Structure 1
Amino acid sequence: MNVIIDNLRLDAMRYMNKVAIKRRTVEQEIFRLENIQRLWSKIFIGFNMFGLSVVLLKDMPIWKV
């Protein structure tokens, strides 16, 4: 009887380890995707600022000589 209980306990521990590993990888993946999204939004904002400054410079009267 003890052998069966020990085997069940081992199976449960293995299963819990698998679940924990999967959850950890999912959390890492979410974190990675959030970082990529943050990076892209920074790049996008940078490009918008650059485009805005180009438009503003183009419309400045200094260039219209």
Structure 2
Amino acid sequence: MRLVIAALLATVAVSCAFPALAHDDPWSISASARLRIESIDGQFRPAPAPEHDTMVSLRTEIAAQYNAGH
């Protein structure tokens, strides 16, 4: 039996710190996002499962930090 596995991994890693309006602003914010697509085709799987399948995974992280000071 022929096994064909196709996988596409697209990772967008955005790690950005938004600049503060003032240099002494105690807040900072960072974010990252990831998109992942995987596909399986031609693999034996018992019925009623389909022969091929595709999955899309999204992950987003947002973090805020406050520096209280001195």
TM-score range for the pair, normalised by the shorter chain length: under 0.3
Q: Which has the higher strand share?
A: 2
Q: Which has the larger radius of gyration?
A: 1
**Structure of higher RCO (CA pairs closer than 8 Å, 6+ residues apart):** 2
